[in-house]
Amino acid sequence: MAITFAAPPPTAVPTAQTAGAGVIAAAAAAIAERVRASVPVVFGPGGNGSGVVWRSDGLIVTNSHVVRGERAEVRFSDDRALPAQLVARHPDRDLALLKVDAEDLPAVEVGDSSTVRPGQLAIAIGHPLGFREAFTAGVIVAAGQAATERGPRVGDFIQADVTLLPGNSGGPLLDARGRVIGINTMVNGELSLAIPSQAVERFVAGRRGAAAAYLGVNGVLVPLRRPSEAVGFLLTEVVEGTPADRAGLIIGDVVIGLDGAALVDQESLPAALLRLVPGQAVQVDVLRGGDPRLFTVVPTERA
């Protein structure tokens, strides 16, 4: 659950636990104060959400569902209100890129979402229910995977137990150093989902609806009784006509490495997938019937 910070009564004797919570609260508040100027309110048709100044020359990231039209208004912490024009949208990723006519905006520091691990501190900033620049802190629960009605998905979301409410959409998920590791997008049960910062950076750099690299496989992580490999990714589906199918991968193959990087735990595969670049060949290490095989796959972009 998300951490709630409350001051102890005047007569309470501080303990290591309350002192630790106080330190975390102070650190989170300091990060929020430093980043808040980079998190404007985004007013779109029918409501408002949050945005993130991704580039100092006026590029602002938010959720696609926050900006349903071609224009919006962006209001900063100093109460400046500027018109914004939609320059790119990715509905599947729920991302939108806005441009305002301004220079030297306080851009955020973008972190590397592929290094995020469960248990890390996470801080969300946004404008929920009319409150400006509210923040909530929690921890990362899972990185690069999410449970859906169609089964587990990898490489898609960072899950955290921070509290998200209407108005938080499009705001940043920060690490303990105040770097953006994701863009908050929705709630899944009791957990929040954020789009990994690497996926957002690719979207912004391309300024078009570019998705992450796509191989065309599904599977499950399985333990391996081998001294050199602890886990592998067992392929349960290889979609016909996709890069993996064209490269010769089949159901039952067990992926043990990508581009020479071994899979070591449940987080290393999503991290490796997020580093892939559409059109750039990747070497896939596979066990087929227990025998090592090497395949070259050229990922495409998901439509």
Which is the catalytic residue, given 56, 57, 65, 161?
Answer: 65
Q: How far is CA 271 from CA 79, 157, 244, 256, in A?
A: 38, 11, 18, 14
Which is the catalytic residue, given 38, 50, 90, 94?
Answer: 94
**At how many degrees (to 10) do helices 197-206 and 268-275 cross?**
10
The number of CA neighbours under 13 Å toward the Cβ of 182 is 35
**Strand duo 213-214 + 300-301: pairing:** antiparallel
Please, what's the largest Cα pairwise distance for the chain? 70
Which two structure tokens, joined as six digits, stand for 46?
């029918």
CA–CA separation, 48 vs 41, rounded Å? 7
Partners of 153 in beta bridges:
146
DSSP run (H or E) holding 135 = strand 134-148
To the query of whether residue 65 is one of the catalytic residues in this protein, the response is: yes
To the query of whether residue 127 is one of the catalytic residues in this protein, the response is: no
To the query of whether residue 169 is one of the catalytic residues in this protein, the response is: yes
Partners of 30 in beta bridges:
none
Which two structure tokens, joined as six digits, stand for 70?
């071609």
Measured CA angle at 53 (ends 136, 90), to 5 deg:
95
The answer to whether the beta carbons of residues 128 and 134 sit under 8 Å apart is yes
Secondary structure, 3-state, 275-294: HCCCCCCEEEEEEECCEEEE
Which is the catalytic residue, given 38, 113, 169, 268?
Answer: 169
CA–CA separation, 94 vs 111, rounded Å? 20
What are the backbone dihedrals phi and psi of residue 5, each rounded to the nearest 5 degrees, phi first? -100, 125
| Residues that are catalytic | 65, 94, 169
